[in-house]
Structure 1
Amino acid sequence: MSAIPITARGAERLQQELHRLKTVERPQVIDAIAEARAQGDLSENAEYDAARERQGFIEGRISELEGTLSNAQVIDPTELEADGKAVFGSTVDIEDLETGERVVYQIVGDVEADIRNNLISVSSPVARALIGKRAGDVVEVNAPSGVREYEIIEVKYI
């Protein structure tokens, strides 16, 4: 399996989720299964079925997180020598030239992308357009709504 790029902050979040699943949620679901078993007939026990389904989800997520973390290539943006260029892990402040709207994105790996938190995947159209560019550069992004132009206001490594 190839290396999975991830920021140091993203790796820490995944480690925290893995720890929570193993130390809090897994024991809770085991207790719920034991409680449901104690009620007798399992063939018509909805609580048992729900707990088993939840256990399957938790175990699957634990396995997924362990696999991701074992193949992770952690990149710390604060240690990059990118000379002002937008690179993996950098935080980029851009302005839409048509609307004047400004937004700040951090370019992250696919597994940690979360648009609600302005974390965009390195493989997204916006990130691909930004990579290698500097403050003052104008980039074109082929969006579903058509071509958009953005000016890079600032590139930070935080």
Structure 2
Amino acid sequence: MPALASTVTRLQEELRNLLEKEIPATLRAIQEARSHGDLTENFEYHAARARQEYLSARASDLQGDLGRVRVIDPATVDTSRVRVGARVWLEPRAGGARRAVTILGPYEADPEKGIVSHGSEAAQALLEKTPGETVRFDGGTWTVAAVERAG
């Protein structure tokens, strides 16, 4: 899974916070709720258990993702063709304004800002294309006008 170094740091901090603060606090809340007796109608207990399950699943997901991460450095991306870490300038075949698409990892994806995950339909259509090639996605036909390093 590709990710920027800053994203890896953010995910590591989130995981550390979950393991050192959030999960232990939730386990304490479960113990406290248990001390109130009958668990069948104990809202605090059930809410704390649900939160603990969510936090544990999130921590497990982060550990898995961090174990598979491949740090990308846009400054070193080969711009002879579209790769993860590149910004691609596209010209619509039907005319109109140029469009920029940046391909990064899933944690950086922000389609409203033109940043797509490497696994998205748009990225899959664009990866390995060179300037001048034509691609089809998002209901349109585009020509790769230029490839540059994401910045």
Relative to the length of structure 1, the TM-score reads 0.73
The one of 137, 141, 145 equivalent to 1:142 is: 137
User: Once the 2 structures are TM-superposed, how far is the Cα of residue 109 of structure 1 from its aligned partner?
Assistant: 2.9
- Aligned residue in 2 for 1:29: 26
User: Once the 2 structures are TM-superposed, how far is the Cα of residue 121 of structure 1 from its aligned partner?
Assistant: 1.9
The one of 80, 83, 87 equivalent to 2:83 is: 87
Aligned length: 151
The one of 59, 63, 75 equivalent to 2:60 is: 63
Does the aligned pair in 2 maintain the 1:96–1:151 contact within 8 Å? no
Cα distance between partner residues in 1 of 2:92 and 2:41 = 57
Identify if the C-alpha distance between structure 1 residues 83 and 107 changes in structure 2 by more than 3 Å, giving closer, same or farther. Answer: closer
RMSD over aligned CA atoms reads 2.8
Q: Which runs of 5+ in 2 are unaligned?
A: none
Q: Secondary structure in 1 aligned to 2:40?
A: coil
User: Once the 2 structures are TM-superposed, how far is the Cα of residue 70 of structure 1 from its aligned partner?
Assistant: 1.3
Identify if the C-alpha distance between structure 1 residues 11 and 103 changes in structure 2 by more than 3 Å, giving closer, same or farther. Answer: farther
Identify if the C-alpha distance between structure 1 residues 149 and 93 changes in structure 2 by more than 3 Å, giving closer, same or farther. Answer: closer
Q: Which runs of 5+ in 1 are unaligned?
A: none
User: Once the 2 structures are TM-superposed, how far is the Cα of residue 67 of structure 1 from its aligned partner?
Assistant: 1.4
Q: Secondary structure in 1 aligned to 2:85?
A: coil
The answer to whether residue 72 in structure 2 is matched with residue 75 in structure 1 is: yes
Task: Please show how residues 33-48 of structure 1 align to structure 2 within 5 Å.
Answer: 33-48=30-45
Cα distance between partner residues in 2 of 1:24 and 1:78 = 35
Which runs of structure 1 show a deviation greater than 6 angstroms over 4 or more consecutive aligned residues?
none
Does the aligned pair in 2 maintain the 1:125–1:141 contact within 8 Å? no
Identify if the C-alpha distance between structure 1 residues 37 and 141 changes in structure 2 by more than 3 Å, giving closer, same or farther. Answer: same
Identity of paired residues, percent? 35
